[in-house]
A and B are shown apart, each in its own frame.
Chain A
Amino acid sequence: MSALVSRGTVVLDAERCKGCELCIPACPPRVLRMSTTRNANGYAVPELLPGCTGCGACLLVCPDFCFEIYQYETPVSHPGTP
């Protein structure tokens, strides 16, 4: 399997997240998943796997304005991926 490549990434404002999980199924490459990390309000927050395309679907569906979307100038390979 080739190394996973991300064309984009996000920044998550974890403290604003309410753990609603709407971003998870909204992500077309399925690179968002809920983590076990909880923010100060006790909500579980998502984490990002390699393979993000920077499409912004998560930003579109998030009720809490938690996402910034970035597109890399050059796609990034992630070391250590199978």
Chain B
Amino acid sequence: MSDRSPTVPIDRPPSEPARRLGHFKPRLLLDTDHDLCPGCGEPVAIRLLLDVIEELGCAERAIGVVGIGCYTAFTSAMDVDLVQALHGRAPSVATGAKRMRPDALIFTLQGDGDMVNEGLQEVVHTAARGEVVTCVLLNNGVFGETGGHMTATTALGQRTKNTLEGRDAAYHGHPIRIADLLAPLGGSAYVARGSVHDATSVVKTKAMLRRAFEAQLEGRGFSFVEILTMCPTGWFVPTAEGPGYLDRVLRPVHATGELKNGERCVTTAALLAENAAAQAAARPPRD
């Protein structure tokens, strides 16, 4: 294909007969004009959330409880009933709301600094109690809103504003794999990790969100979906390198897959082994 191939006009709908398969935005998003950074994975994840709520027919029974992070300002465009909570404290607010409105579909939307630093206790207790809510974690391994500082999920070796030489276990300690704390708890019905760094992952993550909400709708207990998102600003990389950085730096720590689903309860280590085996199986044979 020549570099001087003529391009196809994309500034208007096609004049040839065509079906529209994908819309600019979900119905439940009021405006696409947001101020999150170029290449940020959070709007990609939030889109999935809104799509799943719509597809499940739950727009008029959904209540979101929002934490504090970059995503907070975005939520003014989310057309579902929302409650803004404090940093880390969405799970307890979700608990109170669900106890008073058990028929509502209640989710939290939190970042890793919010949930795993400030609010570690809140989400663990909410899961242990088996509160029938869905906690959604947007994990980019940094405190984005304050400028890109280390969180409890930051990977060893990851450079952040306050780990400029890379996170060092001896000085900064080890990352916490929050899903590993939640999956074994008796109150957890569904615990999964997804990501939004490529189209395949986006599709898989959407399915995870759906299963998590189904666990809530069926009253099976606490559900949790962690979504690895790109933060090129916090990672000091050009936007186009965000997905690769996520795959190379975050996914080896916070492996994607389902940790808890009904009888199945596995650790991140098991997921890493499963993912490696799947990758090996997908490679063509050498000879």
Determine whether A and B are in direct contact in the complex, meaning some CB atoms lie less than 8 angstroms apart.
yes
A-side residues, CB < 8 A to B, are 4, 6, 8-14, 16, 18-22, 24-26, 28, 35, 43, 47-52, 54-57, 59-74, 76, 78, 80-82
State whether A74 and B16 are in contact (beta carbons under 8 Å apart), knowing that A52-B8, A63-B40 are contacts in the complex.
yes
Q: Is the interface of B mostly helix, strand, loop or mixed?
A: loop
From B2, B6, B18, B37, give the contact of A70 (CB < 8 A): B18
Pairs of residues from A and B, 3 with the lowest C-beta to C-beta distance, nearest first = A69-B22, A18-B38, A57-B199
> Which residues of chain A are within 8 angstroms of B39 by Cβ–Cβ distance?
18, 20-22, 63
> In whole angstroms, how far apart are the Cα atoms of A12 and B204 in the complex?
25
Q: Judge if B169 is at the interface, Cβ distance under 8 Å.
A: no
Segment touching A, from B126-134, B135-143, B156-164, B239-247? B239-247
Q: Judge if B12 is at the interface, Cβ distance under 8 Å.
A: yes
CB distance from B29 to the nearest CB of A (A): 7
- Interface size for chain B: under 10, 10 to 19, 20 to 34, or 35 or more residues? 35 or more
> Which residues of chain B are within 8 angstroms of A11 by Cβ–Cβ distance?
10-13
Nearest A-chain residue to B38, judged by Cβ = A18
Scan residues 9-40 of chain B and give those whose CB is less than 8 A from a CB of chain A. Answer: 10-14, 16-25, 29, 32-34, 36-40
13 further contact pairs, Cβ within 8 A, besides A20-B240, A68-B13: A4-B1, A11-B12, A16-B32, A16-B33, A21-B239, A22-B39, A52-B8, A63-B44, A64-B34, A67-B22, A71-B18, A72-B16, A82-B2
> In whole angstroms, how far apart are the Cα atoms of A18 and B5 in the complex?
24
Query: Contact: A72 with B17, CB < 8 Å?
Result: yes
> Which residues of chain B are within 8 angstroms of A74 by Cβ–Cβ distance?
16-17
Query: Contact: B8 with A8, CB < 8 Å?
Result: no
> Which residues of chain B are within 8 angstroms of A56 by Cβ–Cβ distance?
21-22
From A12, A28, A59, A61, give the contact of B196 (CB < 8 A): A61
> In whole angstroms, how far apart are the Cα atoms of A10 and B14 in the complex?
8
> Which residues of chain A are within 8 angstroms of B33 by Cβ–Cβ distance?
16
Nearest B-chain residue to A56, judged by Cβ = B22
State whether A13 and B38 are in contact (beta carbons under 8 Å apart), knowing that A21-B239, A60-B44 are contacts in the complex.
no
Nearest B-chain residue to A73, judged by Cβ = B17
